[in-house]
Chains A and B, each alone.
Chain A
Amino acid sequence: GENVEQHPSTLSVQEGDSAVIKCTYSDSASNYFPWYKQELGKRPQLIIDIRSNVGEKKDQRIAVTLNKTAKHFSLHITETQPEDSAVYFCAANSNSGYALNFGKGTSLLVTP
């Protein structure tokens, strides 16, 4: 499948700080970019998504930005809390439309 690169693989921040996770994609036809959060032992759950017709979307402490020209999108978490600790996955839909190509994940640790 098409590549989705995600960085960093691990991220440690102090409670209250911001966290930023970045992803790049290769398929110019991709138009849907979700972010999933997976807590230890649990299923991945959607936290926010963005479509290619907008450049930014915000939901409380979480925001996602998309740069179609550069083919990259980022997740921003502000005022981080210990319960934000989890693995975060970015994804982009494939040119077939059916599949999502996932990044390798970022393990976020928020320390009190």
Chain B
Amino acid sequence: ETGVTQTPRHLVMGMTNKKSLKCEQHLGHNAMYWYKQSAKKPLELMFVYSLEERVENNSVPSRFSPECPNSSHLFLHLHTLQPEDSALYLCASSSIRGDRSQETQYFGPGTRL
């Protein structure tokens, strides 16, 4: 349960605020992910980082800005959010093998925004 941690667990922000979500993994993984979970789209992939390099970006609005300073940390910077951005934001990590085959993704507890 403590392999992937996220802070804060809850966040209330106005549409003009700037805030950041933090994710940390203690599993030695080399890939990290941000997902948005809402009633409309239960698990929607936002960003993927492999070896600190962004490898996928699923057409996410620019008001969401990810940052991956090292393989253990992932941030999601938020600004000028809209009401429809209210959701649970889940971080996950996994190991990606050299042949790009996928190993299990482990999720953090999420930040309720």
Contacts and interface: CB of A to CB of B under 8 A. Distances in A.
Contact of A43 (B48, B55, B110): B110
Interface string A65-94: 000000000000000000000010101010
Interface size bracket, B side: 20 to 34
B100 A102 contact: no
Contact of A99 (B56, B90, B104): B56
A98 B105 contact: no
B38 to A, nearest CB: 11
Contacts of A1: 45, 58
A42 B108 CA distance: 9
A69 B33 CA distance: 30
Interface size bracket, A side: 20 to 34
A104 B48 contact: no
B37 to A, nearest CB: 9
Contacts of B45: 1, 99-102
Nearest to A42: B109
B43 interface: yes
A45 to B, nearest CB: 7
B104 A98 contact: no
Contacts of A100: 45, 102, 105
